[in-house]
Every structure is written in structure tokens, then in C-alpha cells.
Amino acid sequence: MKRNIKIKLSRIIKSFHRNGSSLKVLDGLDVEAAEGELVSIVGPSGCGKSTLFNIVSGLVVPDGGDIYLGGRKVDNCQGMVSYMQQKDLLLPWRTVLGNAVLGLEIAGVPKKDARREAERLLIEFGLEGFEKYYPSRLSGGMRQRAALVRTILTKKGLMLLDEPFGALDAMTRSAMQEWLLKAWREHGKTILFITHDVEEAIILSDRIYVLTPRPGRVRATFEVDLERPRTITETSFVKLKANLLGILREEDTTDYVQESYRAAV
């Protein structure tokens, strides 16, 4: 069954120029995600993962390449994606509820409706009773959950998550991954997920793109057909992880053949 392609990035090229020298960050990157898919992008630091998201969200203009959203060619996806990063970016002067409704408020949704929706989702994410708290009084995991609620509520079909759990401790992180999977199942979003944590990518994703060091290109693609919930001790999980790590650790990537893998039970 082939589903509709939600987002397709084709041959994306980007260089940054500073003090007369130029730095090629992305060199012909191809990434796509079907409607409702959770797709991870893994790569060494500095391979241009965040630049890729900035291009999709319209903060950075690419030098070349095309972006297709829902089959239509667009310049960028500004106003059509929701975005979350490692920093929770909760506004300190807004309560949890106030932060949760931010996206809806900007989209012009009536206050009452926005509040009602946010309250329901905050309960779903275990933040009941904390609606009137300022972010400074919450733990790291709760803050990130509040940020996730804001991201989901922004009501865009495509979510860009840039290492959203990178700053959390291992326990909290694993809990957050479960929250995310639950939200993903229930709200039917398409998710592009950046991480440098191979394990996290395997736990979450339908497909994993492994990028080369700068300039970023797709080194390998892994279709992950393992049943969820995935356990990190499963043989197929361990094999896939070893395979992924092996590719990430390659020193010399000047001459390679792009590979595709399929991991299944």
C-alpha cells in the first residue's frame, strides 16, 4: 500500500558564506515522508540536520532543490508546519495553558475554543492541575511535555522535531518517547524527527535516513518494519543498531554507494 507523500525534499543544496569563505552544509539531500509516517534523520553533528529544518520551516532559503508539501511545490512550509527543538521555548510569562494555545492564538482560533482544546490535551499529557503554573516551576520533562502539547496543538499536519528530548535524562527521555508515539498514533501527524541517538531513532521511526558528515547527503536509508512497542534487547533491534552505528562511524565517506536496508522481524 503506497500512501500519499506528505513532504518531499529533493536535491536540497545549501552553503553558508562567512568572511569570504564558504561552507557547504547540504549537498543534494533527498528526504521524504508519507502521510502519517514518522521519519528520523540521523547524522554526525554538523551534518546540516538543523539547517534542513530551517529550510523546511522557511527561516533559511536553500541555494537549490525543491520542496513538495502534499504534492505541491512550495518555497517553504512557513505557517504549515509545527516545530519543536531541544530548548522547550516556553514563554516564561505565559502559564502552561497560555503556552499551549500559542499556535492556535496566532492562527486566530477563538480563545474559548483554543482553551478547551488545550485543556483536553494537557490532561492527556499528564499536566492536569498544572495549567496555571508558570514554566519555571515545572521539571524538565514536564516542560518538554508542555512544549509537545503546544506543537501538536499548532494543528499542522507536519511536525518538525529537532532533537526534542536531547537535553533530558535517560529515564525522562524514554517516557517522552512513549508520549510522542502515543500522540503520533492518536493525532495522525506526519513527523520528521532529528536525533543523534541511534537507539531513539530505531524505537520511534518507520524510516531512518543516515546522513554523511558535512556536506550532508543521504548515506543510507533504513526501513524499520519492527513491531511496536520495540524493545532494545530484541535481536533484530540490536542488529539494526550495530548496522547503523557501523555506517555512522565510517571515517572515509568521500566515495560511497548509497545503500538501502530493510529491517524486519
Partner 1 sequence: MFKRAIGRLYKDYLPPALLIVAFVGFWEVAVRLLSVPRYILPAPSRVASTILAKQSLLFGHTLVTLGEIGAGFMVALIVGVGLAVMLFHFSILERAIYPFIIASQTVPVFAIAPLLIVWFGYGIIPKVIMAAIIVFFPIVVNTVDGLRSADEDAVNLLRIMKANRLGILVKVRFPAALPFIFSGAKIGVAVSAIGAVIGEWVGSTKGLGYLMIHANAQLQIDLIFAAIFYLSVMAVGLFGLFSFIEWLSLPWRRV
- SS3 call for 19: coil
If the CB atoms of residues 127 and 201 are measured against partner 1, the closer one turns out to be: 127
Angle, in degrees to the nearest 10, between helices 140-153 and 111-124: 130
Q: Pick from 218, 217, 189, 222: which is nearest to 205 by CA?
A: 222
Considering only residues 40 to 99 of the shown chain, the ones binding partner 1 according to CB under 8 A are 57-59, 78-79, 81-83, 85, 87, 89, 91-94
CA distance 17 to 116: 47
Site string for partner 1, 193-232 (x = CB under 8 A): ----------------------------------------
Grid cell at residue 254: 568521500
Q: Which residue of 4, 63, 71, 106 would you call a contact of partner 1, by CB under 8 A?
A: 106
Any contact of residue 121 with partner 1 (CB under 8 A)? no
- Say if residue 229 is preceded by a cis peptide, omega within 30 of 0: yes
191 within 8 A of 39, measured Cβ to Cβ: yes
| Beta carbon of residue 34, minimum distance to partner 1 (angstroms, whole number) | 22
If the CB atoms of residues 41 and 244 are measured against partner 1, the closer one turns out to be: 41
Binding interface with partner 1 (CB under 8 A) = 57-59, 78-79, 81-83, 85, 87, 89, 91-94, 102-103, 106-107, 134, 136, 154
